[in-house]
Structure 1
Amino acid sequence: MKRWLLLFLVATSLWGATQSMSPRTFETLNTINGLLEANQSSQAKQLLTSTIAQTAPQKSYDLAFLYNTQAGLAIQEGNYTHAIASYQTALDFGVLPSSMQTNMRYTMAQLALQLARYAQSLDYLAVWEAENNMTHEAAKLKMVAYLGLEQPKNALIWTDKAIALKSEHDLTLLQNRLALELQLGLDSRAIDTLKLLIEQFEPKRDYYKQLSYLYQKEGQTRKGTAILESAYQIGLLKEYDEILQLAQLLHYDGAPIKAAALLQRATPPIDKAKAHWEYMAQLFLSSRENAKAIKALQTRDALSPEPKTAMLLAQLMAADAQWAGCISYAKRLDTPQGKMLLGTCYAESGERKEAQKIFSSMVEDTRYGKNAKLWLESLRNQE
């Protein structure tokens, strides 16, 4: 505030060469400046108010500067409504230099934004813009005003202009542009903005995740996976669900071994441990690594034994000719399919009597009876 008023007094003395200001008004402004320097704002305000009341209406030049000063004091107090009114009164006299008038309207535009008077702010800026080249800061003001008016398309136009008017990249503006692009469904533009944010600023997990999502949405799944891989490699993906998502994308892209290796380094939360080991087994099976799939399922089974897991383990061990293991898990199954599997494992392991008992109990089964009879006949032929 002090700096502003000192500049103001210097400007007043310069303009005095062509404009007439009474010595009394000039001295009053100088006194006000001294009071402000001494932190006596209330006395300065009282003096200004009384001076305005005592100044003759025909002294429009004096009054214009007095109201301009009153606006400055109102800003200092945070009374933006009063500041705008004082500026408007100063402007209505029509005697101030044009450059000063446009600058006052620029300040009024800033104050109107603070009061959420967005349309009014744009009106003030339009007058300012008619006599000045657009600047980075003014473009930002228009962006904020259009955001306040909930006009995202116009807000994006002025965000782009604000970015173009600044030599270096502005993080906040790029983040605003991204939000508007996403709101408007401009995915291709949003991809470019996210790439710029990643290249120019400190990498953030959300940028990578959002970029990956947009690539996948555009049908560029491999690019989406590669982006998340990059995030993982630089340590941005640490949560289990994030690593699981990346593993699923790798699996979808035909890289189950890579996905399994990724998940082997992750520690699932307790409530997701069973699903984790089931998925690990699935990945190993997709990679034709049955031994690792069996180990994964055994870990899963140790957490909470269930018939489904026992069936998978019995089937995998049978396929691997691990008859003892197959028998161990098949014994836990109390279903026709499970009994047939147990009988098969007994037969293949050479335990014919146990196999015969199982198959004999199954000959009346509507689904497996015929197969059970064939097994019994085969076992008799081996005697």
Structure 2
Amino acid sequence: MTTMTKGISRFVLRTSVALPLVMAPAVSVTVLEAVGVAAPFAQTEAQSDEKTRKVPAMRENVFKKLGKVQEAADAEDWNAALAALRDMEAGKEDYNAYEMAQMYYFYGFVNYSMERYQQAISAYKKVLAQGVENIPVGTELNSLKTIAQLNMVTENFDEALKYLNRWFAASDSIGATDYALRGQAYYQNGDEAGALKDMNKAVSMYEAKGKVPKENWLSLQRFLYYEKNDYKTVTSILEKLVKHYPKGEYYKQLSGMYGELKREKDQLHMMEAAYIAGALQKEKELLNMAYLFMGNDVPYKGAKVIKKGIDEKKIERTSENLETLAQAYQMARELRKSIPELEAAAKLSDEGKLYSRLAGIYLDLDKNEKALEMGGKALKKGDLKRPDQLYIVLGMANANLKNYDNALKNLEKAKEDERSEKFANQWIGFVEEEMKREEQLAI
């Protein structure tokens, strides 16, 4: 065998199995992943099992011309490859269908490598135009799939589906990644039912083999079930995502689904996982975390979340937020920490209600002077829904300090509201008795 014949034989062996697709550069991964395609220009998962087909022979002069294209492609000199192809195309009238198909197959690959996707699509279509009886099965299948994938890159999803369905019909070995690819195409084309059917098939095929479905498969599957308001299935898919692809966003989404299903404890634990993972950064998210802690009888953790958020300037230091912080401390029976936060909230508030609440707290702590101070500030700010209750507090604080005249004035104001009249009269009676008792002691 001559050296030239050996080279031709090697070339025939390589080109007869869709060589250009094997050489597809890494950029294809980036481009296709951007539109959710899992495997770029991949052959079918068991293509070696496809049926074979007798095709016309390739002549020696065509081998030589394709050899020049091959050399340029190996060197990634795409302009030289195109020049060799154009030189070859000039004599295409003498080629048989198989030779034409091989030429256009290389045209497709070279144009793809130069990111000239429309020209690549046109070239692969010309491969198919030579008649499926004149090209190997692998070449037919890879051309159909490549046209479909390139149409996805160029966002022509109708065409992508057209060629995907032709490929499915022609192939004997459709795998999980293939169903996932078509599922993506259905979704991009607005057919959510078709997308869900194919994504379910892809996931089930993978799981049947004990393999973990790809993250983007599960993510699309989750979205499609969410659109159907099937929260139980969404939850089960998110549980897989959290297990196999742990991310803060999935923790948050799963926590939300647990909330929808009234699984409050699970909701709390998953949201806490998101918090620990640093996925909660917005004020609303952090406050929701705190409310969950407070609603599940762990208020001190809620207080810590708010305090840390305020210190890190992720939660705004507003009267309302400080009041919530104070409430969390109160629920945790941490009054010493609660009072300064409530005073800060009261100072920022346009209303007197928080000072009124502070007056009551100080009264309960037997700090009557502070109760009077807070009560005075409450009256000064005004806009109180129940001033009668504040006057009761002021009356009791003054009575405790033996300021009986002021106590009676406060209690008389309180009884102007019929809701406090009975209680105010009881305290008026008590204050008057105390005044009489002290007058008798003074004699």
Give yes or no for TM over 0.5: yes
**247, 252, 255: which is aligned to 2:290?**
247
Cα pair 1:359 1:375 within 8 Å, conserved: no
2:373 matched to which residue of 1? 328
Q: How do 1:45-84 and structure 2 match up within 5 A?
A: 45-52=85-92, 54-55=93-94, 59-84=96-121
| Number of matched pairs | 373
User: What's the counterpart of residue 229 of structure 2?
Assistant: 185
Return the alpha-carbon distance in structure 2 between the equivalents of residues 87 and 158 of structure 1.
Answer: 26
Within-5 A mapping of 1:95-134 = 95-130=134-169, 131-134=171-174
Cα distance change on mapping 1:329 and 1:74 into 2, 3 Å = closer
Pair 1:220-2:276 in alignment: no
Q: Which amino acid in the other structure matches residue 275 of structure 1?
A: E
Alpha-carbon distance in 2 for matches of 1:80, 1:185: 38
Report deviation, 1:204. Answer: 2.3
Report the CA distance between 1:314 and its aligned residue: 1.4
Using the aligned pairs only, state the percent identity. 23
* 1:153 and 2:193 are equivalent in the alignment: yes
The amino acid of 1:10's aligned partner reads L
The yes-or-no answer on 1:381 pairing with 2:430 is no
What do the CA deviations read for 1:309-352 (whole angstroms, capped 9, x no partner)?
22111122223332222222223325763445323321222222
Distance 1:185 1:344, change over 3 A: same
Q: Of residues 248, 251, 272 in structure 2, which corresponds to 1:229?
A: 272
Inter-partner Cα distance in structure 2 for 1:143 and 1:199 = 23
1:315 equivalent in alignment to 2:370? no
**Shift of residue 233 of structure 1?**
4.1
Query: How far apart are the structure 2 equivalents of 1:72 and 1:356?
Result: 97
**Aligned runs of 1:128-147 on 2, under 5 Å?**
128-130=167-169, 131-147=171-187
Give the 3 Å change call, closer, same or farther, for CA 72–8 of structure 1 in structure 2: farther
Per-residue deviation, residues 273-310 of structure 1 (Å, max 9, x unmatched): 42233123333444566555444423434556852222
Which of 10, 14, 34 does residue 13 from structure 2 map onto? 10
Question: For residue 436 of structure 2, what is the amino acid of its counterpart?
Answer: N
Whether the aligned pair in 1 keeps the contact of 2:151 and 2:160 (CA below 8 Å) is: yes
Partner of 1:344: 396
Which residue identity is paired with 1:129? F
The AA in structure 1 aligned to 2:353 is K
Q: C-alpha deviations, 1:238-295, integer Å up to 9, x for none?
A: 5554332122112223443443355455435474342233123333444566555444
**AA of the residue aligned to 1:313:** L
Q: Distance in 1 between matches of 2:9 and 2:238?
A: 46
CA contact (8 A) 2:11 2:67 kept: no
What is the Cα deviation at residue 85 of structure 1?
A: 3.5
Query: Hey, what's the Cα distance between the residues in 2 that align with 1:290 and 1:36?
Result: 77
Partner of 2:323: 278
1:32 and 1:47 in contact (8 A); partners too: no
Q: Write the distance in 2 (CA, Å) between the matches of 1:363 and 1:205.
A: 53
Shift in alpha-carbon separation, 1:258–1:154, aligned structure 2, 3 A: same
Unaligned runs of 5+ in 1: none
TM-score normalized with structure 2 length: 0.71
Secondary structure in 1 matching 2:190: coil
Matched, 1:196 2:236: no
Gaps of at least 5 residues in structure 2 are 1-7, 18-51
Cα contact 1:48–1:70 (8 A) shared by 2:
no
SS of 1:185's partner is coil
Within 2, Cα distance between the matches of 1:251 and 1:300?
19
Structure 1 residues 30-49: aligned runs within 5 Å: 30-34=67-71, 36=73, 39=77, 40-49=80-89
- Separation in 1, partners of 2:375, 2:436: 25
Task: Say which SS state the counterpart of residue 164 (structure 2) adopts.
Answer: helix
Residues 197 and 207 in structure 1, CA contact (< 8 A), matched pair in contact too:
yes
Judging changes above 3 Å, is the alpha-carbon distance between structure 1 residues 369 and 154 closer, same or farther for their aligned structure 2 residues? closer
Cα gap change, 1:117 to 1:298, in 2 (>3 Å): closer
Amino acid aligned to 1:104: S
Greater shift after overlay, 304-313 or 232-241?
232-241
Mark the CA change 1:117 to 1:127 in structure 2 (over 3 Å): closer, same or farther: same
Correspondence 1:157-176 to 2 at 5 A: 157-166=197-206, 167-176=211-220
Tell me which of the two structures has the higher relative contact order, counting C-alpha pairs closer than 8 angstroms and 6 or more residues apart: 2
Is 1:23 matched up with 2:60?
Answer: yes
- Could you say what secondary structure the match of 2:90 adopts? helix
Secondary structure, in 3 states, of the residue corresponding to 2:173? coil
TM-score (norm 1): 0.80
Change (3 A) 1:51 1:76: farther
- For the residue of structure 2 that corresponds to 1:272, the secondary structure is coil
The question of 1:87 aligning with 2:124 is answered yes
> Residue 174 of structure 2: SS of its match in structure 1?
coil
